[in-house]
Amino acid sequence: MKLSGKVALVTGGGRGIGRAIAQRFAAEGAAVAVAGTGRRHLDATASEITAGGGRALALLADVADESAVARMVDATTREYGRLDILVNNAGIAGPTAAVAETRMDDWERTLAINLTGAFLCAKHAVPHLISARAGRIINITSVAGLIGYALRSPYAASKWALIGFTRSLALEVGVHGVTVNAIAPGSVRGERIATVMRDRAASLGRTVEEVEREFYVDPTALKRMIDPEEIAATAVFLASDEAMSITGETIGVTAGFRL
C-alpha cells in the first residue's frame, strides 16, 4: 500500500473528486480526514471508509474562514498525531456569466474558496508537513487554469492563480522535503459539471446535450469526459514516495482537452 502510515487531509472530501481521493487514499493505507461544509456527505464518505476497514474523520469547515481552517488542521493532528498530506480540493463553480454581468459578491466568493481557501489550508498545514520531512500538498486546479474560459472568468482566474501559488509554495518548502503539485482535471463527471452545463445551455439557448458535446467532449482527444477516480489515481501517485522528486508541477488529467 503506497500510503501506509500516512495521514491525509482532503478538503471538499464529501463528494466528487474529493470523495474519490479520500477513498483511494484510505485504500492505500492512509488515515484520512475529510473536510467541507456538507455534514451529510462528509459523514457518508467517512462511514464508507471505516466500513471498509480504514480510518476516517469527518470535519465541518469553510476553507474561506481562517479560524475554521485552524480548527480543522488541529482536529486532524489531535486525532492522528501528525499530518503528511494536504489535498486542497474544496472549490465552487462560481457564476456562469459574462464579465459585464458578473456580480461582485460572486467573484469574491469564488476566489475566497478556490484560491484563498487553498492558501489558508497550506498556511496552517505547512508546519506539520515540515515536521513530517516528506510532506505533500496537492492542489486541485483545473484545465480552466490553463486556457481561456468564456462566461466563467471568476472560476478560471482562481484556477490560474492556484497554479502560481503551487509553484511559489514549492520553492518555499522544498528545502524541508515538502513537495507541492497541482492536478488540472478536465471535465469530470458529477454534480458540478452537470450544473455548469445546464447554466451554460440556458445562457446560450442550447440543449444540455449540445453543450456537453461541443464544449466538453469534442475538444478532447479521447472524445469523452473523465471520472473522479482517474483524478484520485494521479493524487495517489503525487502523494507517494514515487513522486518525491516532482514538485512545482501541474499535471493535466483532461482526456487530451484541446491538445
Q: Which residues are catalytic?
A: 155
Q: Which three cell numbers stand for residue 251?
A: 499535471
> Which helix (DSSP H) or strand (DSSP E) does residue 184 occupy?
strand 179-185
**Do 26 and 49 touch, CB atoms closer than 8 A?**
yes
3-state SS, residue 249: coil
For residue 214, how many other CB atoms are within 10 A of its CB? 13
Residue 251 phi/psi, 5-degree rounding, is -105, 120
Q: Please report, as a single letter, which amino acid is at residue 28.
A: E
What is the DSSP secondary structure assignment for residue 151, as one 8-state letter? Answer: T
How is 31-100 classified by DSSP, letter by letter?
EEEEEES-HHHHHHHHHHHHHTT--EEEEE--TT-HHHHHHHHHHHHHHHS---EEEE--------S-GG
| Rg over CA atoms, the chain | 18
Please, what sign has the CA dihedral across residues 167, 173, 179, 180? negative
**What type of residue is 87?**
V
